[in-house]
């Protein structure tokens, strides 16, 4: 993979461009509440309540805060996970990197409450100034209503970190709080959007059965947060990176990271349909180069959309790092997992069509992205048992046979009367695979 990545670096840079570090230093948003003390300030431990004890919750958010001296309380519906956390008060994260021995991180000072124990959940929220969610789009509204009921009885503010891969997570929470506790409750809720870049694979069933708390993850541990979302101040937690314009980083995640991840899966499945591992398809030159070009096209548009926040050099660094991380064979990620749910991933607001629309809006080419779209239409990867994802099977049997125009107009919903959408539709429909 080393030689391949060097070729990709030349493709992305077009020469020896100077490297610009993309990181930003932490900083406060709103002024901190008087008298509030955060972990690492004066040595006083505080508590994080996190809704969602799944892989991201445990391997990422819980790990960062526990390592910073916080007590971490997970709220979850999985009774097995809740009971195991309360029995052990710790769990292990296994960091997996290709070419390196596994590294185990013991996360301590943790416990859990079952989500259906509403009184216990209310008590935990009442005794903290910071909470987080890592529950997924389908459960976020319900969790937000639970938090809203707690806010109705608070006198001091609560910061809520939304560790969700959802561009609309903030509006989901705002709507739920307004409906449950009224608009005035929002004054006591610091809604902190994030960009979640950490990759965590689905745990193998045999490992999960042997230890329901064990989780595999990559080494990447950077949590990008909206500085202005905090009311109580940015917590002193190593790995938290507070930025001024979170929207730039959310879009970078969707249109560069998520696009590239899906591109590798779709292109890999088209070129090597029997290959299961994502790292293996990324060894193929055509998959590497087309994935890199698609990410680079999206990066050009992102740079035009957010010129004050993301430099082209920083985005090139980011793409190189992502390609290396995508190819992490030790993580065990699969073409099926990364590519499944095609209708969602080609939707107008999602990674492929959304990136193409952004390119069209800024007059940027999106040739490679168009190729990824067509590879997605042919995606047929199955899980280890030989089963296709249910939504993909229906999409492939009902929508795809009607042709690309049906998918573009009826499934994605690109309008012929909108100039930008029409531009993307025409390019998608006029594509001829090289």
| Alpha carbon distance 399, 406 (integer Å) | 7
Identify whether residues 215 and 260 lie together within a single domain.
no
pLDDT digits (tens, 9 = 90+) for 61-72: 999 999 999 999
CATH of the domain at 208: 3.40.50.720
Q: Which of 191, 226, 244 marks a domain boundary? A: 244
Mean pLDDT calculated for residue range 190-198: 98
Structural domain count of the chain: 2
Using CB atoms within 10 A of its CB, is residue 238 exposed (0-12), middle (13-18) or buried (19+)? Answer: exposed
Kindly state the average pLDDT of the residues 91-99: 97
* Boundary of a domain, candidates 190, 223, 244: 244
> Mean per-residue pLDDT for 268-282?
98
Decide if pLDDT at 31 tops 90.
Answer: no
Binned at pLDDT 50, 70 and 90, residue 107 comes out as very high
> Is 274 found in the same domain as 226?
no
**What confidence score (pLDDT) does residue 4 get?**
62
Residues above pLDDT 70, as percent of the chain: 89
The answer on pLDDT for 36 being more than 60 is no
- Which residues have C-beta within 8 Å of that of residue 334, sequence separation ≥ 6? 201, 276, 277, 278, 381, 383
The residue among 141, 171, 175, 147 whose CA lies nearest residue 160 is 147
Q: β-strands 71-76, 110-114: how paired?
A: parallel
Is 258 found in the same domain as 217? no
Q: Are residues 297 and 382 in the same domain?
A: yes
Please report which confidence band the pLDDT of residue 11 belongs to, taking 50, 70 and 90 as the band edges.
Answer: low
What strands, in cross-sheet order, belong to the sheet with 71-76? 110-114, 71-76, 47-51, 130-133, 158-162, 189-196, 223-226, 240-243
How confident is the model at residue 2, as a pLDDT?
58
Do residues 163 and 307 both lie within one domain?
no
Identify whether 9 is part of a domain.
no
Cβ count near 105 (within 10 Å): 16
Tens-digit pLDDT profile for residues 153-168? 899 999 999 999 998 9
Instruction: For residue 93, tell me if it sits in a domain.
Output: yes
Tell me the per-residue pLDDT of 238-249, one tens digit each, with 9 for 90 and over.
999 999 999 999
96 with 62, same domain? yes
Task: Kindly report the pTM of this predicted structure.
Answer: 0.89
Average pLDDT over residues 295-321: 98
290-307 tens-digit pLDDT: 999 999 999 999 999 999
């Amino acid at each position: 993979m080393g030689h391949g990545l060097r070729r990709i670096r030349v493709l992305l840079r077009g020469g020896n461009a100077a490297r610009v570090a993309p990181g930003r230093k932490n900083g406060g948003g709103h002024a901190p509440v008087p008298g509030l003390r955060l972990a690492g300030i004066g040595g006083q431990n505080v508590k994080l309540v996190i809704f969602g004890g799944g892989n991201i919750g445990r391997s990422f958010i819980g790990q960062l805060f526990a390592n910073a001296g916080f007590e971490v309380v997970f709220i979850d519906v999985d009774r097995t996970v809740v009971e195991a956390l309360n029995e052990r008060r710790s769990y292990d994260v296994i960091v997996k990197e290709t070419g390196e021995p596994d590294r185990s991180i013991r996360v301590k000072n943790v416990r859990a409450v079952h989500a259906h124990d509403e009184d216990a959940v209310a008590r935990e929220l009442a005794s903290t100034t910071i909470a987080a969610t890592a529950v997924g789009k389908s459960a976020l509204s319900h969790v937000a209503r639970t938090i809203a009921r707690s806010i109705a009885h608070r006198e001091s503010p609560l910061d809520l970190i939304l560790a969700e891969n959802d561009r609309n997570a903030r509006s989901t929470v705002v709507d739920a709080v307004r409906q449950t506790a009224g608009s005035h409750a929002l004054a006591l809720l610091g809604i902190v959007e994030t960009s979640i870049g950490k990759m965590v694979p689905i745990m193998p069933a045999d490992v999960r059965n042997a230890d329901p708390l064990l989780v595999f993850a990559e080494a990447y541990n950077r949590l990008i947060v909206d500085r202005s979302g905090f009311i109580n101040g940015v917590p002193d937690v190593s790995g938290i990176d507070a930025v001024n314009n979170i929207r730039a980083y959310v879009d970078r995640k969707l249109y560069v990271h998520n696009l590239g991840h899906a591109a590798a899966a779709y292109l890999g499945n088209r070129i090597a349909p029997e290959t299961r591992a994502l790292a293996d398809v990324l060894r193929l030159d055509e998959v590497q180069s087309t994935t890199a070009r698609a990410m680079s096209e999206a990066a050009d548009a992102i740079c035009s959309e957010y010129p004050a926040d993301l430099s082209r050099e920083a985005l090139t660094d980011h793409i190189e790092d992502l390609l290396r991380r995508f190819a992490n064979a030790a993580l065990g990620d699969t073409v099926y997992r990364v590519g499944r749910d095609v209708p969602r991933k080609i939707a107008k607001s999602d990674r492929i069509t959304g990136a193409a629309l952004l390119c069209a809006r800024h007059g940027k080419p999106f040739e490679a992205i168009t190729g990824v779209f067509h590879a997605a239409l042919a995606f047929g990867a199955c899980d280890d048992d030989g089963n296709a994802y249910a939504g993909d099977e229906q999409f492939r049997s009902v929508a795809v046979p009607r042709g690309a125009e049906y998918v573009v107009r009826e499934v994605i919903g690109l309008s012929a009367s909108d100039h930008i959408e029409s531009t993307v539709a025409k390019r998608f429909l006029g594509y001829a695979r090289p």
